[in-house]
Chains A and B, each alone.
Chain A
Amino acid sequence: EIVLTQSPATLSLSPGERATLSCRASQSVSSYLVWYQQKPGQAPRLLIYDASTRATGIPARFRGSGSGTDFTLTISSLEPEDFAVYYCQQRSTWPITFGQGTRLEIK
């Protein structure tokens, strides 16, 4: 099973700042890496797939990058609605696994 480790566990930033979230895989997942956003009481929302492709309707301030074992989700300028928990997910090998999440909170 591929283990995904997200860092940091919690990120405290202010609106307008840049957020950088990391996801590291225990072995290569090529570009089969997905990012989701989850707000309290809601289902996860697809943000990025294939490591860098934005899903339909996702603003351009969300950018995914990386390949192999190291991946980054960058939010260029935080909006109030971006404060949430972010999960990475690998699609390279069964079973599909998720990272433990990064909580992005308002500073």
Chain B
Amino acid sequence: QVQLQESGPGLVKPSETLSLTCTVSGGSINSSDFYWGWIRQPPGKGLEWIGYIHYSGSAYYNPSLKSRVTISVDTSKSQFSLNLSSVTAADTAVYYCARDFGTSRMDHWGQGTLVTVSS
């Protein structure tokens, strides 16, 4: 059974860069069938797609965040990562990583990690 686990700082200062890593276990990150994505959810609000990446390195981002987002993949470690620069309080959210199956659905999710932007 595929499992995903987010890791990274729970507190980031305004204007700094938020960095999270998702570790994939129980399945291969190298499959051509999957993309590996990030989604966030501000407290008490809905879901926002941030972007996803294929193991080959092809990445797609939400235009609303594109200027600040980079998603990368490290197949040797079965990990993919999110960098979000110049954060503000509006970036405070639970950040989820997920497996995207054939670009048709997100079928496995991490448990989520709360990142708070505050000085």
The residues of A that contact B61 with a CB separation of less than 8 Å are 95
B interface bracket (residues with beta carbon within 8 Å of A) = 20 to 34
A interface bracket (residues with beta carbon within 8 Å of B) = 20 to 34
Cα–Cα distance between A89 and B109 once the two chains are bound (Å): 15
Q: Return B100 CB to nearest CB of chain A, in Å.
A: 9
Q: A94-B60, A95-B63, A95-B64 are in contact. Are A46 and B107 (CB under 8 A)?
A: yes
Binding site secondary structure of chain A: loop
Q: A95-B62, A95-B63, A95-B64 are in contact. Are A44 and B47 (CB under 8 A)?
A: yes
Cα–Cα distance between A11 and B48 once the two chains are bound (Å): 23
Q: Is the CB of A91 within 8 A of B47?
A: no
Residue among B46, B63, B98, B111 making CB contact with A99, cutoff 8 Å: B46
Q: Return A17 CB to nearest CB of chain B, in Å.
A: 25
Q: A43-B96, A43-B112, A95-B62 are in contact. Are A101 and B107 (CB under 8 A)?
A: no
The residues of B that contact A49 with a CB separation of less than 8 Å are 104-105
Cα–Cα distance between A97 and B62 once the two chains are bound (Å): 9
The residues of B that contact A62 with a CB separation of less than 8 Å are none
The residues of B that contact A36 with a CB separation of less than 8 Å are 47, 106
The residues of A that contact B103 with a CB separation of less than 8 Å are 91
Contact with A along B83-101 (1 / 0, CB 8 A): 0000000000000101000
The residues of B that contact A101 with a CB separation of less than 8 Å are 46-47
Q: A43-B110, A43-B111 are in contact. Are A98 and B46 (CB under 8 A)?
A: yes
Q: Return B17 CB to nearest CB of chain A, in Å.
A: 22
Give the interface centre of A32, A34, A95, A97 by most chain B CB atoms within 10 Å.
A95
Report which B residues bind A (CB closer than 8 A): 46-49, 60-64, 96, 98, 103-107, 109-112
Given contacts A44-B109, A50-B105, A98-B46, 6 further A-B contacts (CB under 8 A): A45-B109, A87-B46, A89-B47, A89-B106, A91-B104, A95-B64
